[in-house]
């Protein structure tokens, strides 16, 4: 199931930049683009996209106005685009997935798309009675990590991994009190893991959801996560809406 995308920006070159990057990711399908707020509102209502890239400031109705005018149940996942830093509070209030400052570099753009892929299955589940097909089906999600230890290759089961931390071009796996180093960037691992089990909570951290025992909100809207092993991981505010929804879905499944 592809994630259907709409782009809203009054600058044609800005829309083109998003389209070019989206074309490199097979999980996303562009279904519409709009250059002003009024047509964007009508287009979103008609097309019902899963994800919308929205320029915050546009002539007439702004991107924030468009999102705010949509009923929460009909509001798509949103990634805000802006040249200014002063809209973080509005982004948080609208539960935007991400908040990208122009000009957006490729790594930050990819992170935003990764976050959309992680949040997509939970969005589908909340909109339909039947469980939706996840962005990464359980049958094809990574089952184990292949780790080189000297002349040996060790297979570390994904089910034993508690969290993953970025380490330059490598990632460190924390599993059963051991740390394994794999030559893979965190961004790539985030797209290979089952989003029903693992969630990216920071630019440098992925956490297994059932390891989280406590979530404590901070004054800057970030959060501190305490895991079963006693370790503490910081969760960035831009990842919090998707993480909160994922934890709610996990709790619902556990209760049932």
Task: List, in sequence order, every beta strand (DSSP E) within 107-222.
Answer: 144-149, 152-157, 161-167, 170-175, 178-182, 198-202, 205-208, 212-217
Q: 133 in a domain, yes or no?
A: no
Of 121 and 160, the structure prediction assigns the larger pLDDT to 160
For residues 60 and 6, the model is more confident at 6
How many domains are there within the chain?
A: 2
Q: What's the predicted TM-score (pTM) here?
A: 0.54
Do 172 and 113 belong to one domain?
no
Give yes or no: residues 96 and 33 share one domain.
yes
Q: pLDDT tens, 75-87? A: 899 998 887 765 5
User: How far lies 56's CA from each of 24, 59, 131, 133, in Å?
Assistant: 24, 10, 33, 31
Task: Based on the fold, state whether residues 121 and 158 are members of the same structural domain.
Answer: no
pLDDT tens-place string over residues 211-238: 999 988 887 778 899 998 888 999 987 7
d(C-alpha 76, C-alpha 147), whole Å: 39
Same domain as 123, residue 11: yes
Distance CA 216, CA 39 (A): 40
Spell out the alpha helix ranges (H) of 70-150.
88-93, 106-127
Cα–Cα distance, 17 to 11 (Å, whole number): 10
33 DSSP β-pair partners? 7
The tens digit of pLDDT for each residue in 194-207 reads 888 898 888 899 99
| Buried/exposed 117-143: b ≥16 CB within 10 Å, e otherwise | bbbbbbbbbeeeeeeeebbbeeeebee
Judge contact between 226 and 239, C-beta under 8 A.
Answer: no
User: Tell me, what's the pLDDT at 125?
Assistant: 59
Instruction: Give pLDDT, residue 87.
Output: 55
Rama region for 15: left / alpha / beta (φ>0; ψ in -120 to 50; rest): alpha
21 within domain boundaries:
yes
Query: Please, how many CA atoms are within 13 Å of residue 240, restricted to the half-sphere of its CB?
Result: 21
Above 70 in pLDDT, residue 252?
Answer: no
Please indicate, yes or no, if residue 132 is contained in any of the structural domains. no
Question: Where does a domain end: 73, 96, 127?
Answer: 127
Residue 90 domain boundaries:
3-127
- Please check the confidence at residue 140 and state whether its pLDDT lies above 70: no
- Residue position matching structure tokens 């962005």: 135
């Amino acid at each position: 199931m592809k994630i259907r995308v709409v782009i809203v920006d009054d600058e044609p070159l800005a829309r083109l930049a998003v389209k070019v990057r989206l074309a490199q990711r097979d999980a996303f399908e562009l279904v519409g683009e709009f250059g002003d707020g009024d047509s964007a509102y009508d287009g979103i209502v008609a097309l019902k996209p899963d994800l919308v890239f929205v320029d915050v400031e546009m002539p007439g109705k702004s991107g924030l106005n468009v999102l705010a005018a949509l009923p929460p149940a009909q509001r798509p996942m949103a990634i805000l685009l802006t040249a200014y830093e002063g809209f973080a509070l509005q982004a948080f209030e609208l539960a935007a997935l991400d908040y990208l400052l122009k000009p957006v570099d490729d790594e930050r753009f990819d992170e935003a798309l990764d976050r959309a892929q992680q949040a997509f299955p939970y969005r589908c589940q909340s909109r339909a009675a039947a469980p939706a097909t996840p962005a990464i089906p359980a049958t094809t999600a990574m089952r184990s990590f292949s780790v080189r230890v000297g002349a040996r290759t060790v297979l570390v089961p994904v089910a034993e991994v508690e969290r993953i931390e970025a380490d330059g071009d490598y990632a460190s796996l924390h599993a059963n009190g051991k740390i394994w180093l794999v030559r893979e960037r965190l961004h790539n691992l985030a797209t290979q893991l089952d989003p029903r089990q693992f969630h990216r909570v920071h630019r440098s951290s992925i956490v297994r959801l059932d390891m989280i025992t406590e979530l404590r909100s901070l004054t800057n809207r970030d959060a501190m996560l305490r895991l079963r092993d006693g370790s503490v991981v910081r969760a960035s505010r831009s990842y919090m809406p998707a993480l909160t929804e994922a934890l709610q879905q996990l709790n619902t499944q556990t209760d049932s």
